[in-house]
Structure 1
């Protein structure tokens, strides 16, 4: 997994408990299991989330605070005040990320985003080199014209990553996503703003100790890998229950 010494030095503590909580993205809350298809992320087995009936189990308030809840964030979908926030750290070159985007996320949107329970916040976490970086900046640029999620769908379509994410290919994806001003898209993708936004997300993930993609936080509970739908369903429903209980105390 590419991770420079510079990135290691910039891994910041996001609260008093993060040093412990960050381990969850590597091992502590997971037991090993192998998904059905070969991983493009790592040769190691992809871990599965440890599911507990306790809605507070494995939840770290410090990590829950990473939800930005910015109403104007084009890389997010769902109500700003939704009781549950799922943060996804992902790479457009990652096979498991594509699996999640195609097979799981659409159902989560229908079941939980549309009824106001869930908000999904995307974080660009490019780890596979120049192509990953280019795709991340292209996604950010598409978001500048309100077409991030359409770009996300096009970039994660079956066979899309095999075509690469060079400049011409990014323009094709932008057109497919319905981006109106392709010239502006290209300028935005090459801008300092794009590089800074991607770097911010990337450093946040490294700061959490994330070592693979996709990695998720559900109201502060880490989940690693493109897990079965029920893992996300259970995490979201537990988080919603816990959030409701907290509201009842106020």
Structure 2
């Protein structure tokens, strides 16, 4: 049956309307894809910016990283604490001081860090600086490989009469125990914060037999006093037998000052 002209026009109009609807739907989908693409790009850019910021600030919870040329944390305080006090090897203070106080420690020991940060500075200022006490550090290095590497560098610094500077600065910058942080780079950084220390020479002197002798001797002496932990202290009249400091009540400035004052009083 032949179609009328009106029917043909109606079919064409319907087809055109259907095509236009499809085109509008496709255009809408294209616009949606474009918006999603733009949003994805913006998110990617934001993520990239965050990554850059994290890297620039050190990332995570570890705080900002030390930048090249920045001073080592605590370098100025260490220099001020020890300025003008004579050093000889592991000794700090006048070699003729009437009282000798020996600390047995480990550079990785967190309690030794507490002693270095809070307890020893007043002892150094009140007793060592005026010549009444000679303070000696014995590094027993028993906690692990990081302890040994630190002790070797400390003893090497002692060959230049800078052991106490190195030890105090190491404690200020102490890391997590046995985490492998005591690398050559770390040791150079700490050594670089010690005024007057020839860092290259100290790094080489770690292989010096005298360095190993000092560490072995410290361990024997520590055990000879019957000590098992760090920090531990012995005190007495210089040139005489020393006795362990009673630290049952904890290690405080008063603990050490009381022990020192008792020896001073005994000497009249």
**Residue 72 of structure 1: how far off its partner (Å):** 7.1
Counterpart-to-counterpart distance in 1, 2:212 and 2:174:
23
State which of 99, 107, 124 in structure 1 corresponds to 2:114. 99
TM-score by length of structure 2 reads: 0.60
Q: Which runs of 5+ in 2 are unaligned?
A: 1-85, 237-241
Counterpart-to-counterpart distance in 2, 1:81 and 1:183:
32
**Residue 110 of structure 1: how far off its partner (Å):** 1.0
- Which structure carries more relative contact order (alpha carbon 8 Å, separation 6+)? 1
Q: How many residues align?
A: 173
State which of 118, 134, 139 in structure 2 corresponds to 1:119. 134
TM-score by length of structure 1 reads: 0.64
Counterpart-to-counterpart distance in 2, 1:72 and 1:103:
21
Partner of 1:215: 232
Counterpart-to-counterpart distance in 1, 2:209 and 2:161:
19
Partner of 2:263: 239
Partner of 2:32: none
Structure with the largest fraction of helix: 2
What is the root-mean-square deviation in Å for CA atoms of aligned residues? 1.9
* 173-182 or 102-111, larger mean C-alpha shift: 173-182
**Residues 42-121 of structure 1: matches in 2 within 5 Å?**
73-121=88-136
Structure 1 runs (4+) greater than 6 angstroms displaced? none
Counterpart-to-counterpart distance in 1, 2:106 and 2:214:
14
Alignment partner of 2:137: what SS? strand
CA displacement 1:168-202 (0-9 Å, x = unmatched): 21111111113543221111113222112211111
Contact 1:91/1:213 (8 A) holds in 2: yes
State which of 190, 197, 205 in structure 2 corresponds to 1:188. 205
Counterpart-to-counterpart distance in 1, 2:96 and 2:185:
38
**Residue 224 of structure 1: how far off its partner (Å):** 5.8
Contact 1:142/1:179 (8 A) holds in 2: no
Contact 2:153/2:206 (8 A) holds in 1: yes
Partner of 1:161: 175
* Bigger Rg over Cα: 2
Contact 2:111/2:230 (8 A) holds in 1: yes
Given the alignment of the two structures, is residue 173 of structure 1 paired with residue 173 of structure 2, yes or no? no
Contact 2:91/2:137 (8 A) holds in 1: yes
Contact 2:113/2:174 (8 A) holds in 1: no
Counterpart-to-counterpart distance in 2, 1:144 and 1:152:
13
* 189-198 or 92-101, larger mean C-alpha shift: 189-198
Contact 1:84/1:118 (8 A) holds in 2: yes
Alignment partner of 1:80: what SS? coil
Contact 2:87/2:161 (8 A) holds in 1: no
Q: 1:168 to 1:179 in 2, by over 3 A?
A: farther
